[in-house]
Amino acid sequence: MISINGWQVPGYNTKINCGIKLAGEDLSGAGSYLISTDNGVKAAVLSITTNIAFVDHKKLAQLITKAKDLDENGARKIYTVNSDVASAYKVRKVKFDGEVKTVEAEDVKGWVITFKLLEVLSKSEREQQQLDNKANKSTNTQANDGHNNVLAQFEQVTGV
């Protein structure tokens, strides 16, 4: 079971898969040594497959509407997600990403719907934002200092 902003994703035989990418790069070249970089933890992706009966076409329309929704800035809407696997990965905020696909089921009178939810504002992103804000507060930019120094020297020369 999965819900988006408290709205339960419709359907039956719902399957939810989740994955994260632990980014890195092999730096060992042609040698036998294992040297690699650690480039952080990338956003989680929830892949959902569900079945909706033909008679529930309004529920399919609601799902498609949620996928297409935009916020006040014209960006895809961010939702709060709730499911056991999302909780295990500590995924709280998501947006629809990639293709939302509906295929007619072969064995029953209904559709098979597949879509992906991409994590936004992940723990890693929030930690990086905090580090960036801390760094910005504790440093003076050379451009501002340099400009102020030039102005001070100009004032000394001109006697202003």
Q: Return phi, psi of residue 13, to 5°.
A: 55, 40
Residues 127 and 150 in one domain: yes
Torsion over CA: 102, 103, 105, 109 (sign): positive
Residues 99 and 145 in one domain: no
Q: Which domain holds residue 39?
A: 3-120
Residues 101 and 132 in one domain: no
Can you give the pLDDT of all 160 residues of the chain as single tens digits? 899 999 999 999 999 999 998 877 776 666 666 677 777 778 899 999 999 999 999 999 999 999 999 999 999 999 999 999 999 999 999 999 999 999 999 889 999 999 999 999 766 666 666 666 766 666 655 555 667 777 777 777 766 5
